Structure 1
Amino acid sequence: MTGARRRWAALAVLSGSVLLVVMDMTVLNVALPAISRDLRPDSVQLLWIVDVYSLVLAGLLVTASALGDRWGRRRALLTGFALFGLASLAALAADAPGSLIAVRAALGVGGAFIMPSTLSMIRTLFTDPAERARALGVWSAMAAAGAALGPILAGVLLERFSWHAAFLVNVPVMAAALGAGLFLLPESRNQNPGRWDAVATVLSMAGMASLLYAVKNAGKHGLTDPVTLAAAGVAAVALCWFAVRCLRRPDPLLELRLLRGGPFSAGVVTALTTSIAMAAVLLLLGQWMQLVQGYSPMETGVRLLPAALAALVASPLAPALAARVGARAVLSGGVALTGLALLLPFLAPVLSVGPLGYGPVAAALVLIGAGNGALAIASAVIMAGTPAATAGSAAALEETSYEVGGALGVAVLGSLAAAGYRAALDYRGPSAAAVSDSLGGALGVAGELGAAGARLAEAARQAFADSLALTFGAGAALMLAAAAVVWLLTPRGLDLSASHH
């Protein structure tokens, strides 16, 4: 196999593995009802089944990427493949909530080794910056597709098999990736990595896991909840201490000095804010389609597909567009496009109750997917400005932006939607707490109240739709402000066809 063909075949392995890891973040949302019926977890256990994957993955990202820089990025990636496949296989033996939580935690460990390693391997495989930008476009498209395809795959599998199938589908793919990776991927590492910083390792794990837990808990119980405040306090202390250690050492665990570069920071801001928007939209529109419009999980997954399809088209085309109009315009324009997509449901009452055409929602999803094309340029900007020795640090910072952005999108915009729903629904009848807690709770109560229940269900659905419009308006303001920040941080005439060291 020639060098060029080998590189692109290796990219297929890297992109396929990212597709699977991202799908695993969303696949559980559809499988949860079946898992609840089978394993009967209590509310705390259910929370951990959902959250432990992203908590472990986020907590280990920095450590896993630093290990890859020292130990070998190919070795770290293949280890991640093996762990992910074995953990998925172990789901067969999960017959209690505790064992499924352990399986999800092990999947998070595997994912932490896979995600940053794929990015730093692309940095190593594609030395030509223009070719690297195209490769990162493919990688970004697969990541975007994974988020949307997860629920659809889960829906298809759960109609025919038990919930275990949602995990077992990973096993053959990871086995194939392991075999192909051994053959196709070259080894690379930082030749002068410096001493391992054990204190920084512990601080990064504790800080990132606490930060993500605080954000998730705030989304469910509010900012003033004692657990939220305690987790946020631990995260603030640990991450500040971690940052100080990294900035003072000549050989830090994570090269935070990369953030001093304007283009690098612009890429990180793009990754963070686009992830916030994508996660919030998929969550909130998914709820709207099922609870307001009455679609099944499978029908909902299909109707969310335009976002993934648009991202699949836009991401590979983004580098060519950047070569014509400039990286700055594509980077900032992609974020602005996402903002406009969120503005559409805010300005037009497309989310109201009733048989309204799906067209405007599909248009908003297409715009969000097209805006995701900016992520390909964000990755290219981040990697173009990074020396090969610190590729792991760059990949860890980008992946951390995705993880934190996704969690913030669900927690912050999800909380805003919940608060808007409670404010819009003035209900003082039976089971008032359940009704004002969520639309699902309101519909459950309405089903027991006869004629009065029908009026309650109508009012609750309208309150939810109204709250979504306001939430998307706030999201649009955030994205348009981020677009301006990205424009200011990115230098005019930034050229991705030349390396920047």
Structure 2
Amino acid sequence: MTHTAKPADPARTRPHPRRWAGLAVLSASLLIVVMDMTVLNVALPALSADLRPDAVSLLWIVDVYSLVVAGLLVTAAALGDRWGRRRVLLAGFATFGLASLAVPAAATPGAVIAVRAVLGVGGAMIMPATLSMIRHLFTDPRERATALGIWATMAGLGSALGPILGGVLLEHFSWRSAFLVNVPIMAAALVLGRWLLPESRNRRPAASGGAAGAGSWDLPGTLLSIVGMVALVYAIKHFGRDGPADPGALAAAALAAAALGWFAVRCLRRPDPMLDVRLLRRPAFCAGLVAALSASIAVSAAMLLLAQWMQLVRGYPPLETGVRLLPSAIATAVLSPLAPALAARIGARTVLAGGLAVTGLGFLVLPAAPEPLGYGTVAAALTLVGAGLGSLAVASAVIMAGAPPERSGSAAAMEETTYELGGALGVAVLGSVAAAVYRAGLPPERLADAGLTGSAAATARESLGGALEVFASFGEAGARLAERAREAFTSSLEWAGVAGGALLLLGAALAWLLTPRDLDLADGHEH
């Protein structure tokens, strides 16, 4: 096949001289933002003991960050496309750092909720900007694929290092230290980012003329995207926690469907859409999103369950738990930078689908292992999962290859939104599967035989932590029930492994079918 020669693109023939130093700034900032999502899991017990939040406040402390991030990702990416990606990124650094600096003054649950919300604003500005700026820093497709591999490695490491950092800090300082550590890093990122990172924006905000007006800001679309995404994440979380008949979750789901449907229609009709939903017509782009969604659903639920299993079943302290979760992060860190080169040798489709399949097999190791489940089996499963997740470096490259440079903000927003939704769906759906298996292992009649009824029995069947607390006051019978509860929780972890493994194998099949056979990441775009 012959191709028509194209004029040389000066931006492409002259790579940015400080692109690798700029990548270090982008990767470090992403690492901190991702770590901040997981560090709260370790800090939450100490925070609860200090501030004594009620159940509703505790729920909002946990959820408000992801709700704000999900709601603002599209808006933040659109702002970067139009007004400058570096400008939005630096504003995100400043917002994240100032919110972290305000933590010592947060003396009430309401103040902590407010700080977490502002952290979410900063995180939403940082996350898509790091990805879209890589698209513009690295004009050579092969270098870009390597840079995206490093970016994916930082995202994976952040999830693993958050609990470890939190454990180390909490052994020596208060829970506030887990947030204050962000301040000097964000200050350094602000200074270095201003020096090292070039400004970039979409210089063609409108494809052609139209009623909406070229380059005009779509305020109704902004409000629709925020309301729709917040409502969607809220609905997913509460369906998982309160069941499919919960009135609040049903109302939020209806609101999300209406708002996001209207938002999609506006984006299709406008010549200058906030989010280019037409990218979903590109098979390679969809393949990358499928990979991101299936992996984030499975991994978010598995890591939460494994952290509880290690602490409540195996009795490991928080810091040791974080260290024992490291095999996944180490495998990801080793293989993510190698994934683009492997894709160049055997094809992006093979690496993307094969990586998801390996991750799925890692999940299936949990139920396939001989009883009782031990840490050796879990470490082997984590290593396989981490090795497979190295393919997500290729997923990011496939997504960027499926989007024109001027729409890199939309592509980045869609990828980050997919990860956010996947995290919420994982905890809601796979978490519900695990909860159902756990409750089935502690039937009410068995608890009643030991004298547990009413609220005490309900607490025991709600969570393993609650069960161990209730059973502690029931002597020898309580000790037997505690052992039964640990066995039920282990079974729930294994069944979550079955569900997660099946989902990942399905995702691998879809990625294989959607990714073009001849997709070449070195080409930089989808044919």
Query: Retained in 1: the 8 A contact 2:15–2:140?
Result: no
For residues 306-361 of structure 1, give each alpha carbon's deviation from its aligned partner in whole angstroms, at most 9, with x where no partner exists: 111111111111001101110000000111111101111122246x36xx3x2211
Pair 1:213-2:225 in alignment:
no
- Residue 493 of structure 1 and its aligned partner are, at CA, apart by 2.2
Q: 2:202 aligns with which of 190, 206, 216?
A: 190
Q: 1:88 aligns with which of 95, 100, 124?
A: 100
CA–CA distance in structure 1, aligned partners of residues 120 and 468 of structure 2: 34
Q: 1:377 aligns with which of 394, 398, 401?
A: 394
For residues 356-407 of structure 1, give each alpha carbon's deviation from its aligned partner in whole angstroms, at most 9, with x where no partner exists: 3x22111110111111111110111111221111110000000001111111
Where does residue 453 of structure 1 map in the other structure?
478
More displaced 10-residue stretch of structure 1: 221-230 or 170-179? 221-230
Structure 1 letter corresponding to 2:346: V
For residues 214-273 of structure 1, give each alpha carbon's deviation from its aligned partner in whole angstroms, at most 9, with x where no partner exists: 111122211211111111111111111111111122211100000110000000111111
Pair 1:155-2:170 in alignment:
no
- Residue 154 of structure 1 and its aligned partner are, at CA, apart by 0.4
Q: 2:284 aligns with which of 263, 275, 300?
A: 263
Q: 1:489 aligns with which of 514, 518, 526?
A: 514
Q: 1:178 aligns with which of 176, 186, 190?
A: 190
Q: 2:380 aligns with which of 356, 363, 368?
A: 363
Q: 1:428 aligns with which of 447, 451, 458?
A: 447
For residues 91-128 of structure 1, give each alpha carbon's deviation from its aligned partner in whole angstroms, at most 9, with x where no partner exists: 11101111111100000000000000001100000011
Query: Retained in 2: the 8 A contact 1:215–1:228?
Result: yes
Query: Retained in 1: the 8 A contact 2:93–2:190?
Result: yes
Query: Retained in 1: the 8 A contact 2:302–2:496?
Result: no
Matches within 5 A, 1:76-475: 76-193=88-205, 194-349=215-370, 352=372, 356=374, 358-426=375-443, 427-429=446-448, 430=452, 431-475=456-500
- Residue 3 of structure 1 and its aligned partner are, at CA, apart by 5.7
> Equivalent pairs: percent with the same residue?
68
Mind listing any 5+ residue stretches in structure 1 that lack a counterpart?
Answer: none
- Residue 50 of structure 1 and its aligned partner are, at CA, apart by 0.8
Structure 1 letter corresponding to 2:135: R
Structure 1 letter corresponding to 2:117: A
Query: Retained in 1: the 8 A contact 2:276–2:407?
Result: yes
Structure 2 letter corresponding to 1:252: P
CA–CA distance in structure 2, aligned partners of residues 257 and 35 of structure 1: 44
RMSD across aligned positions (CA): 1.2
Structure 2 letter corresponding to 1:281: A
Structure 2 letter corresponding to 1:123: R
Mind listing any 5+ residue stretches in structure 2 that lack a counterpart?
Answer: 1-13, 206-214
Pair 1:72-2:84 in alignment:
yes
- Residue 424 of structure 1 and its aligned partner are, at CA, apart by 2.0
Query: Retained in 2: the 8 A contact 1:328–1:490?
Result: yes
Query: Retained in 2: the 8 A contact 1:336–1:483?
Result: yes
Where 1:497 maps in the other structure, the secondary structure is helix
CA–CA distance in structure 1, aligned partners of residues 50 and 29 of structure 2: 29
Structure 2 letter corresponding to 1:254: L
Structure 1 letter corresponding to 2:276: E
For residues 473-495 of structure 1, give each alpha carbon's deviation from its aligned partner in whole angstroms, at most 9, with x where no partner exists: 11111111111000000011210
Where 2:489 maps in the other structure, the secondary structure is helix
- Residue 62 of structure 1 and its aligned partner are, at CA, apart by 0.2
CA–CA distance in structure 1, aligned partners of residues 259 and 331 of structure 2: 39
User: What TM-score do the two structures reach when normalised by structure 1?
Assistant: 0.97
Deviation beyond 3 Å, 4+ runs, structure 1: 2-5
Structure 1 letter corresponding to 2:308: Q
Structure 2 letter corresponding to 1:369: G
Query: Retained in 2: the 8 A contact 1:349–1:469?
Result: no
Query: Retained in 1: the 8 A contact 2:15–2:139?
Result: no
CA–CA distance in structure 2, aligned partners of residues 407 and 107 of structure 1: 18
Aligned residues: 496
For residues 284-320 of structure 1, give each alpha carbon's deviation from its aligned partner in whole angstroms, at most 9, with x where no partner exists: 1111111111111111111001111111111111001
Query: Retained in 2: the 8 A contact 1:322–1:330?
Result: yes
Query: Retained in 2: the 8 A contact 1:277–1:338?
Result: no
Structure 2 letter corresponding to 1:306: P
More displaced 10-residue stretch of structure 1: 17-26 or 403-412? 403-412
Structure 1 letter corresponding to 2:39: V
CA–CA distance in structure 1, aligned partners of residues 370 and 31 of structure 2: 34
Where does residue 6 of structure 2 map in the other structure?
none
Query: Retained in 1: the 8 A contact 2:15–2:138?
Result: no
Where does residue 72 of structure 2 map in the other structure?
60
User: What TM-score do the two structures reach when normalised by structure 2?
Assistant: 0.92
The structure number with the bigger radius of gyration is: 2
Structure 2 letter corresponding to 1:479: L
Q: 1:51 aligns with which of 57, 63, 69?
A: 63
CA–CA distance in structure 1, aligned partners of residues 509 and 224 of structure 2: 33
For residues 399-430 of structure 1, give each alpha carbon's deviation from its aligned partner in whole angstroms, at most 9, with x where no partner exists: 00111111111111111100111112223321
Where does residue 54 of structure 2 map in the other structure?
42
